[in-house]
Chains A and B, each alone.
Chain A
C-alpha cells in the first residue's frame, strides 16, 4: 500500500470516531500568508517548546532547596564550601550529569531567544498595525505573555542560587519592601520572614516550573486559536484585499516549513549552547549577602529596568515618620506600570483617536502611519537609553568612560532623546511618503543620463510596474475627525477638554503627504 493510501486510512479512522472530517478538511487547506516577519512569533513559540523540554530535563536533578550543604562534587575550586542544596545541585548538573551543562545552556539561551522573539514579534505587530480590530484581544494576551516572560525569566535565573542570582533576589526584595504601607508585610510573606530565609527558592521553583508555564500554555493556546480563527493578517499587494488571504496551504507547505523551522530554531539554540558559555554559575560562587561580583548584570530583558533604577534621582520622602522610597518606586514600579498599561491599551487609544471601528486585515506600511511609527520609535529609544544605562559599568570599562558621565548622559538622554526620536521618525515617514508619491508620478531613476541638444543633462526616469504602483497607492488616508467644541445646535459638548484633546490628537494623526490621486495621474498624462 502506498503512503498516500495509508494516510487516507488514518483520516478515515479519525473521522469515523470524531466526525471531524468537515472541520479538518477545511483546516488542512487553511491558507497562511508568507513573509519573513511572520516567523518572529513562530520563533517565540518554538523557543517555548525548547524551554519546556530542556527545563524538564533540568528538574530531574535540580534540588530546589536552601538547605545548607558542604560541596563535595567534581568542581575542585568550590570543594568544602558551604552552599545551598540548590546551588550544589546546579553544579552537579553542570559538571557531573553528562549533557547537563549543555541542557542548562540550551535552557538559558532559549530563554533569551524567547524574550527577543517576543519583543521582535511585538514590534512587527505594532509597526504594521496588526493589533487593530478585530485583534485587540490578542494584542492584550501578547502583552500579558511578554510580562509573564520577564517574570519567568527572572525567576529562572534566580533559581541556581549563585552569587549573581541571589543579588537579583535581594534587589527584588528591596522593590517589594518599597511598596508603601504593605511592603514589609509582602516581603515577609514572600520570604517567610527576614531576607533571605530558607523558603524563597522552593517557592519560586514551583511558580517557575508549574504555575507560570501553565499560564503560558493557556495564553499561547488562546493566542494561536485566535490567529487561526481570525486568519492571519497580510501585507498589502496586488490581489490582496481586506476580504481575502493570499498564501500557501497548511498541508503540505506550511507543515513542512513550520515543522522544519522548529528544528532549525532548536538546532541554532543547541549550537549556541555548545559554543557560547552562558551564566557560568561556578565562577560566581554561592550566594552570600555580604559579597558581590563587580559588573553585576541581569539578563538583557531586565536591563532596561535595572538601567532605570540606576538613573533614578536619590529621592526619599518622610512624613509622619513613614518612609517613601521614590528612588525605587518610580523606576521599579510606577514607570513600568505606566509603560505596560499604556502598551496594553494602545489599540483602544488609537481607535479612539482615529474614530476607526472597522476591521483591518491588511497591514500598514509603517511610513503610512507616521504617528504610530514615531510613537514606537520613541518607546524604543526610551528602552535603549535605559538599557544602555543598565550596562553602564560594562560600557565604562570597555570604552574608558566614567560611570558618572554615562549616568548623567542617560539621565538627560532618557528625557530628551525619545521626543527627538518621535519628531525625526515622523518627519522620516512623511519624507518616505513623499518619495513614494514621486515614484508613482515620475517613475524610477534609471541612472541613465541624457544630453539634450541644449547641452543640458537630464536623467531618464522609467515608470514603475503596475504592481509596485498599486502597493504605493492602495493605502487609505483618513481625514482628521471633525470634533468642534460646540455641536450643531450651538451647545457646548460635554467633556470639552477630552474632546479638544481628541481633536488635537486626531489632527496630528492624520498628517500625511497626500497620496497620488486620479487627478494627479490625469494631469501627468496631459503633459
Chain B
C-alpha cells in the first residue's frame, strides 16, 4: 500500500455520535425497563414450558392456521423453550446496544514476523539441534527410524483386521436355488401363476423353512420382483424368454447401481424406476437400462412351476445381485 500513491487521503475514523441513552437519563431508564421486560418475557416462556410439561397431556391436538393440527404438549414445550431462550438473547443484546459504551476502539496489530535477530537465532537453534542430534550425518539412524515408524503404523491397521470377515462367496450368492419356491412378502405363501393378474407386480422372497430365520442380510440379496405381462409384449432374446413363465418375469429388486429397492413400476410404459437415482429399466427388454446412472440391467431369475403349479426358481441367479464391486465377475 505504501508503494502506491493514495488518491484520497484517509479521513480517519468518523466522529463518535452519542446515542439518546448516552445523553438523556430518561431514555437510559426506559432502555433499562425494556431490557428487564425482555428478561421477564423469557421467564414467562419458562413458565409456559413447565405448564406444558406437567399439565398438558401428550394426546391433545390444537388447530393452528397454516400449520394445521399440532400436538399441544410438544408445541407448548417448544414455544416455551424458544421464548425463554430468545428473549434472554434479545434482552442482552438490547442492553449492549443501548446502555454499554459504544465508542469504537482502535487496537494496533503487531506483525507476526519476529525481529530479524530472533528469526536468525531461531533458525540457528533449529539447525544446531538438528546437527547435534546427528540426524544429517548418521543416515543409518535416520533410515532405520523412518522404517520403524512406517512399520509401526501397520499395527493399528492390523489390529482393525477383525472388524469383519474377508469377503467370501456369500457376497455373490443369494438364497435362490434350483427349486426354491417363490413366496409372498409379507405372508410367506407359495404363489401360483394364476395368482398374478396381467399387468400386476409383486414382491416375493425365497421360501424359508422358518420365516423367522429370514434376516435383513437375506432380504438385502433375495428381494425379487415378479411382473406379469402378456407374453406378446416381451421383446426378449429366446434364452431370456425361456426364463419367464406364462408372461411372468422375475428380476432382482436390488438396484444394480447402488442397491436401493427398485420399487416403482409404471404400468403403462412397463418401466421399473429406482427412486434413489432414477435408473430406469425396461421390463419388456429384460430390464435393460434406458435411463439414469445404472450401468447394468437388473439380474433376471429363471423361473418355472412345479407339478402343482407353484412358482419355483429353475436356477439360481447367474450373476451377483446388487451394486457392482471389483471382483464381481470373478468366480
Contacts and interface: CB of A to CB of B under 8 A. Distances in A.
B93 A248 contact: no
A474 B5 CA distance: 10
Interface string B53-97: 100001000000001001001110111011111111111110111
B324 A177 contact: yes
Nearest to B103: A248
Interface stretch (B188-196, B235-243, B250-258): B250-258
Nearest to A260: B92
Nearest to A327: B293
Contact of B74 (A102, A181, A294): A102
Interface in A369-412: 392-393, 403-404, 407
Per DSSP, chain B at the interface is loop
A197 B293 contact: no
Interface string A245-276: 11111001100110111111111101101110
B219 A288 contact: yes
Contacts of A199: 164
Contact of B261 (A31, A289, A324, A466): A289
Q: How many B residues are at the interface, by size bracket? A: 35 or more
B208 interface: no
A257 B323 contact: no
A325 B263 contact: no
Contact of B323 (A177, A274, A290, A516): A177
A184 B327 contact: yes
Nearest to A321: B329
B147 interface: no
B154 to A, nearest CB: 15
A521 B6 CA distance: 11
Nearest to B112: A134
B31 to A, nearest CB: 13
Interface string A301-345: 000001001111111101001111101100100000000000000
A181 B205 CA distance: 32
Given A246-B104, A407-B278, A322 B109 contact: no
Contacts of A187: 167, 325
Interface in B1-42: 1, 4-14
Interface stretch (A57-65, A188-196, A209-217): A188-196
Contacts of A192: 163-165
A171 B258 CA distance: 5
Contacts of B93: 256-257, 260-261, 264
A189 B160 contact: yes
A190 B295 contact: no
Q: Give the residue among B70, B96, B205, B275 with the most A Cβ atoms within 10 A.
A: B96
Contacts of A102: 74, 77-78, 81
Given A194-B217, A309-B277, A262 B326 contact: no
Interface in B300-331: 322-330
Nearest to A403: B278
A193 B165 contact: yes
B7 A521 contact: yes
A188 B166 contact: yes
11 contacts: A31-B106, A102-B77, A167-B276, A174-B259, A239-B11, A245-B108, A246-B104, A311-B293, A314-B292, A327-B293, A518-B5
Interface of B: 1, 4-14, 53, 58, 67, 70, 73-75, 77-79, 81-93, 95-97, 100-102, 104-109, 111-112, 160-161, 163-167, 170-171, 185, 203, 205, 215-217, 219-221, 223, 253-254, 257-261, 263-264, 275-279, 289, 291-296, 322-330
Given A263-B85, A292-B276, 5 more contacts: A177-B323, A242-B109, A267-B86, A270-B78, A321-B330
